[in-house]
Amino acid sequence: MRIVLSGGGTGGHIYPALAIGKQAMEEEPGSSLLYIGSPNGLESRIVPAQGIAFEPVEITGFKRKLSYDNVRTVLRFLRGVRRSKALLRKFRPDVVVGTGGYVCGPVLYAAAKLGIPTLIHEQNAIAGLTNQFLSRYADTVAVSFEDALPQFKRSRSTIYTGNPCATNVVRADKKQGFAHLGVPAGSRIVLLVGGSRGAKAINDVMVDMVPLLGRLPDVHFVFVTGESYYERTMERIKAAAPRLPSKLIVLPYLHRMPEVLAASQLVVGRSGASSLAEITALGIPSILIPSPNVTNNHQEANARSLADAGAAEMIIERELNGAALFERIGRIMMNRDVHKQMGEAARGLGMPDSAALIVGELKRLTRK
């Protein structure tokens, strides 16, 4: 099977596309992948590092208010469609997959006009503008959250698949997670992470919480600051607690995230779609602090889906403080019944076979 993948701007769009490509290669050895993305986006660095062929297409997003910039964006879109058609004719894919971000627009639109089967995947509970636009041209729309299905009423076909990133973590070895952290196997771990780049609000509340950690002596706290925040955050932690708690591990970045996630009993962090797919696939309770700085406030909608199901607790960032967060961590970690109920609710939302479901749909589309 020959597959074109497209998605960009953030890891939340890129990693689901890569997970789909990986699953396709496992199921169909000898398949060929081409990734079309923005020349300046994260995908331009992440994708080639995975050994996948990459081609750039220039595109920018529309402003949400009337602007002359939107005229130039339309012109870039049309040029992007022409460039995409040339790339598609050369590669001759059996199917084209888009996972969101502006660059998907010209690529999936071009594929539809060329009569190539297409699938788009929406990661969030609130659909992005590009996927909403593309849904009227795509053959299939796959969603991570059932709540998103009604937003694609104009599409030809919609399916609930979950997020393909979930497939990676269910294969992770928790023993390697314990070993990577240097803690005994079976240790009780609370993982606090603000995303791959970190989150200032979560770092700030963690500094406030450090003096309280000794009240949970049997719990290891793994705190990931983000590389740009690490040195300053460590200075503040040492000022707040000159004698660091023995079971506090502070890292700038976590290179073995799937393994450490598999070893964790509670996750505290943002509510990006890929992260939620991973923790539900593993059945891990969570305390979610949605970022307020995202389009359509979609992280709050993502978090609310888990909270309403009893799989997570949600704290709005403006209400966040160290004492309140520590109280919630303690209540979940010290009450086995609460922890078990939240874990079961999370697992009930998990879709560990998401990537396989999507690849199955791709096979169906290529047989039509």
12 labeled part of a ligand binding site? yes
Give phi and psi for 131, each to the nearest 5.
-70, -35
Handedness of CA 93, 359, 122, 112 (dihedral sign): positive
d(Cα 159, Cα 202) in Å, to the nearest integer?
34
Is 10 annotated as ligand-binding? yes
> Any binding-site annotation on 32?
no
Rounded distance between C-alpha atoms, residue 163 and residue 145, angstroms? 8
Q: Is 11 annotated as a binding residue?
A: yes
Q: Which amino acid is at 83?
A: R
Which tokens is 38 given?
A: 């923005």
* Gap between the Cα atoms of 44 and 9, Å rounded: 10
Give Cβ neighbours of residue 310 (< 8 Å, ≥ 6 apart).
341, 342, 345
**Phi, psi (5° rounding) for residue 159?**
-135, 145
CB 279 within 8 A of CB 273: no
- Alpha carbons 36 and 85: distance in angstroms, whole number: 11
299: annotated binding-site residue?
A: yes
CA distances for 44 relative to 35, 47, 329, angstroms: 9, 6, 38
Q: Is 128 annotated as a binding residue?
A: no
- Determine contact, residues 63/114, Cβ cutoff 8 Å: no
Residues within the annotated binding site for UDP-N-acetyl-alpha-D-glucosamine? 10-12, 124, 196, 299
